[in-house]
Amino acid sequence: MEEKDFWIAFNHVMGIGPTRFQKLLNTFGDARTAWRAGVKELSEVIGPGIAQKVEEERKKIEPEKLREKIESKNFKVLTLQDDDYPSLLRNISNSPFLLYMWGNLDFRQFDFFISMVGTRRPTPYGRKVTKILASELAREKWVVVSGLALGIDGEAHSSVVQEEGITVGVLGSGLEVIYPTSHRRLAEEIVEKGGAIVSEYPPLCPPRAENFPPRNRIISGLTPGVVVVEAPKRSGALITADFALEQGREVMAVPGSIFSPQSEGTNNLIAQGAKLVQNKEDILETLGFSSEKTRKSGGEDSHLQGDEKELFSFIDSSGIFKEELLQLTGWEEGKFFRVLLSLELQGLVQELPGGKVFRL
C-alpha cells in the first residue's frame, strides 16, 4: 500500500480538512502511521469527535481498494507530495491536501492561468464580455479557471472550449456529482479538449452549500489573477475576489451600468481598487505582461446612423423595457419595430424574456 492511499482515505473522513490533516502529518510523520494510530492518540491531535469519525471510517475503508476504485474511473489524485500538484495552489495558506482530477491536464506544462468568475444570472452584456475575454485569452493559450456554475462561469468555460482551448472547472461537489447537472455535457467537452474538472471533495460528495465558499479559494489559488465580470452584492464571485486578495493575487473587475444590479458588486470592487478591465490587454498588463494596445471599448455603434443611432443611444447594458423605448422615441410601432429588429439582427442589442432590451 502506498502512502497516497492513506491520504485519500483521510480525505474521505468528514471533518478532515487541510489544517487537521497537516497536524496529523506533523504528529505522526506520515498518513499511513496516522491511519493506524489509536483513537486516544488521534484525539489528542484532532479532538475526540473527529477521532471517533476516523475510527468509524477506517472500519469501512480499505485504502488500497479505495484508490483503485477511484483510478478505475479515470480520476487522478494529486496530493501535495506530488510533483504535478499545481504549483500556484501549493502557495496558499490552506492548500487542499489533495485534488481529484478528471482529465489529462498537466498543470506544469502551462504558464498562463487566469480565473474568470461572475453571477449565475448575468445580463447579455456580462455574457458577451465573458465570451470575448475568454475566447481571446484561450486563443493566446491561457488556461481559464472557473467554477462550472451557471451564468458567467459556464460562459467562460464554453467560450474556451469553442476555441479548442484549455479550461479548468473547480467543483464544490465530487467529480461524479457534476453540479449543476445541466453542465454535465460541458464538463465532458472541457475534458475532451484537454482541460480538467477538479475537486477536493471525494468523488461521490454531494454539492453541499458549505462546500462552495472554500471551493472558491481553489479557483483563485490556481491562478495569479481573478477577473470578476458581473457580480451583484453578496455574490459568490465576490468571495472568490476576497480569497484572491488574501492570497496576494490580482483582482480585476469589468465595470457595468450603475443601474444594473448585476454590476453593483463589480463596480464596488473597482471603487475599492480592483483593476478595471475593458479588454484582454488590461488583464495582461495587470499580470505583468506588456501588450500592444488595440483598445476598442464602446465604439461599436460608430457606424450607426440616423434612426438606428438614435434608438441605440437609449439602450444600455442594464436593459430597458420596449414600452419605455416606444415612449422615449415617440415613434409609430412600425418604424420602432423595424429599427429595433435591425439593431437586433446586427447583434447590437438583445431581447430577453420579460420585455426588456439590452445593449450587448
Partner 1 sequence: MLAKVLSATAWGVDARLVEVEVDVASGLPSFQIVGLPDTAVQEARERVRSAVKNSGFSFPGGRVTVNLAPASLKKSGSEFDLPIALGILAATGQMKFVPPSVVALGELSLSGEIKPIAGVLPVAHFLSLEGKNYRLFLAQENTKEGALVENLEVYGFHHLNEVCDFLQDKINLSPTTLDREALFSAGGEGEDLSEVKGQRGGKRALEIAAAGGHHLLLIGPPGSGKTMLARRLPSLLPPLSLDEAIEVTKIHSVAGFLSEERPLISQRPFRAPHHTISDVALIGGGQWPRPGEVSLAHHGVLFLDEALEFRRNVLEALREPLEGGKITVARASTTITYPASFILVLACNPCPCGYLGDTKKTCTCSYQQIARYRAKLSGPLLDRIDLQVEVPRLDFSEIASEKKEETSQEVRERVKKARQIQTERFRGEKIHLNGQMSARYLRRFSPVEGEAKKLLEASMESLALSARAYHRILKVARTIADLEQSETIQLEHVAEAIHYRSLDRKYQEP
Binding residues (CB under 8 A) for partner 1: these are 120-122, 124, 127, 150-151, 154-155, 180, 182, 261, 321-324, 326-327, 333-335, 337-338, 340-341, 344-345, 347, 350-356
Please give the Cα distance from 30 to 19 (Å, whole number): 15
Q: At what angle do helices 322-329 and 306-314 cross, to 10 degrees?
A: 130
Residue that the C-alpha cell 484537454 belongs to: 194
Q: Which is nearer to partner 1, 309 or 322 (CB)?
A: 322
**CB of residue 356 to partner 1, shortest distance in Å:** 7
Where does residue 317 rank: exposed (0-12), middle (13-18), buried (19+ CB within 10 A)?
Answer: buried
61 close to 36: Cβ distance less than 8 angstroms: no
**CB of residue 185 to partner 1, shortest distance in Å:** 12
**CB of residue 113 to partner 1, shortest distance in Å:** 23
Conformational region of residue 323, where left means phi above 0, alpha means psi within -120 to 50, and beta covers everything else? alpha
Q: Which is nearer to partner 1, 150 or 304 (CB)?
A: 150
- For 164, the grid coordinates are 479548442
The Cβ of residue 66 has, within 10 Å, a number of other Cβ atoms equal to 18
Concatenating the DSSP letter of every residue in 89-139 gives: HHTSTT--SEEEEES---GGG---EEEEE--SS--HHHHHHHHHHHHHHHH
Residue that the C-alpha cell 435591425 belongs to: 342
Q: Which of 153, 134, 255 is nearest to 212 (CA)?
A: 153
Cis amide prior to 180 (ω within 30 degrees): yes
Q: Which is nearer to partner 1, 78 or 116 (CB)?
A: 116
Q: Which is nearer to partner 1, 193 or 322 (CB)?
A: 322
Q: At what angle do helices 18-28 and 39-46 cross, to 10 degrees?
A: 130
Q: Which is nearer to partner 1, 280 or 356 (CB)?
A: 356
**CB of residue 234 to partner 1, shortest distance in Å:** 13
Q: Which is nearer to partner 1, 246 or 324 (CB)?
A: 324
**CB of residue 334 to partner 1, shortest distance in Å:** 3
Q: Which is nearer to partner 1, 153 or 163 (CB)?
A: 153
Q: Which is nearer to partner 1, 43 or 346 (CB)?
A: 346
For β-strands 225-228 and 167-170, DSSP reports them as: unpaired
For β-strands 349-352 and 320-321, DSSP reports them as: unpaired
155 close to 130: Cβ distance less than 8 angstroms: yes
- For 78, the grid coordinates are 494529486
- For 275, the grid coordinates are 483593476
Q: Which of 126, 88, 122, 109 is nearest to 217 (CA)?
A: 88
Q: Which is nearer to partner 1, 23 or 121 (CB)?
A: 121
